[in-house]
Amino acid sequence: MSVDFSKNATERPEPCKAEIKVRYGDALFPVSISHSKPSNFLLFRAITFLNHTMPDFTDNGASNFIKYGNDYYATSETNYISKIDPVTLETLEKVDYLKYLPVNLASCHPHYDKEGNAYNFGTSIATKGKTKYVLFKVPAVSDKGPALKNVEVICSVPCRSLLMPSYYHSFGMTDNYIIFVEMPFKLDILKMATAYMRGVSWASCLKFCPEENTLIHLVDRKTGKEVETKYYTGAMVLYHHVNAFEDDGHVVFDVIAYTDNSLYDMFYLSNLKEKSQFDEKRFSNELFLCGGNMVKLKYTTASAVKEKEGKFMCQAEVLCEGFELPRINYDINGKRHHRLCCVVAKFDTETKKMVYWGEDKCLPSEPVFIPRPNGESEDDGVVLTSVINSNPGQSSFILILDGKTFKEVARAYVNTELNKDMHGFFIPH
């Protein structure tokens, strides 16, 4: 650590101030303390103690794959990602976000624009006394070295709590806006810092506060500034954004929302027989101020009503129930969609009809939609999913479904054991 002391050069004694830079991994984070503020000094002592006792974040990239420039990475939600060979899947090197920008955590679901630039969110914890959510852009093209070296911070969104930032797994993006949902599902930093010593998992450090509202942030992609209007909805937990789009002055986004945090709890062996309620919900935020329900779109019952102090309370439309791991044709990301897939089904947002694929003792993964080159419709393409086959004497397989009919096109059996995965990524040749 480095210490920079300063004292008022007068005969009258003045409080002594110091800025201590505490190292986390390869990055230095400044913490200001003062003898006149004992609470700050105690916080510094706690951080110093934890810095020497807590282990580094995991580099287990088991959640998803990310493309930054021409490089591919396996990722979780920490500051570590693993560069991989896209052909052999061999791990090449461990990469630390902190070498390029001050984020301790990062989403494993970035977005990409038409030029191939990647957009992502990360959480910067207690940097210069503030915790914030950092929106950053990684360019598609880099002259030399990794594209991350040219990362650009677009916007910083203040966190509502210094030591309890919101957990998030994904976010939404339209042509002009970024949608970031700050839920009352929080990561307790002090509990997380002591988790190793207490022998508990990350899940035990998450806290759901049902008495608090969810805050919806809109960031203007062109200006890099947050829209001043504040949008709220009731307490919820979400992991996956389906899509977001703009329509007649509205920003509409679909998410998979839970009424509580029971998704994590249900994975404990004692709770595996319990069910967690989750729905696909549609929100609509009007960008122009007006009285009453601002949402004027005829195809949704979602509402946004102006309340005191100029804030707006949003009410979602429930499109369907029991829907998770959603995927769309990413070619229309940011545009209005009508069809989406889940594990493993196809849902029509207009007719509310759903078709399924299923086979006895077979467990499919999250589907990946691969559009047909120059396809004529949203669902013109194929759906790819890996299937764990527990039928005796039968191998697991890769399943290909027709995007329009959802009928099986082909399957390829694999001579290896497949494990249940979280997310998939298609790399064209």
Dig out the tokens for 87 from the structure. 């052909």
Q: Is 423 annotated as a binding residue?
A: yes
The H-or-E segment that residue 319 falls in is strand 317-321
Do the bridges between strand 231-233 and strand 312-315 make them parallel or antiparallel, or are there none, so unpaired? parallel
- Distance of alpha carbon 234 from alpha carbon 27, whole angstroms: 37
111 labeled part of a ligand binding site: no
How far does CA 166 lie from the centroid of its chain? Answer: 11
240 annotated ligand-binding residue:
yes
Q: In this structure, how many other beta carbons lie within 10 angstroms of the beta carbon of residue 28? A: 15
Q: According to the annotation, is 429 in a ligand binding site? A: no
- Distance between CA atoms of 134 and 217, rounded to whole angstroms? 12
Q: What is the DSSP string of 168-235?
A: -S--EE-SSEEEEEE-SEEE-HHHHHTHHHHT--GGGGEEE-TTSPEEEEEEETTT--B-SS-EEE--
Residue carrying the six token digits 């110093």: 48
The answer to whether 78 and 106 are in contact (CB under 8 A) is yes
Angle CA(336)–CA(337)–CA(341) in degrees, nearest 5? Answer: 155
What is the C-alpha end-to-end distance of the chain, expressed in Å?
47
User: Using CA atoms, how far apart are residues 254 and 256, in angstroms rounded to an integer?
Assistant: 7
Annotated binding site for Fe cation: 109, 169, 240, 423
Annotated binding site: 109, 169, 240, 423
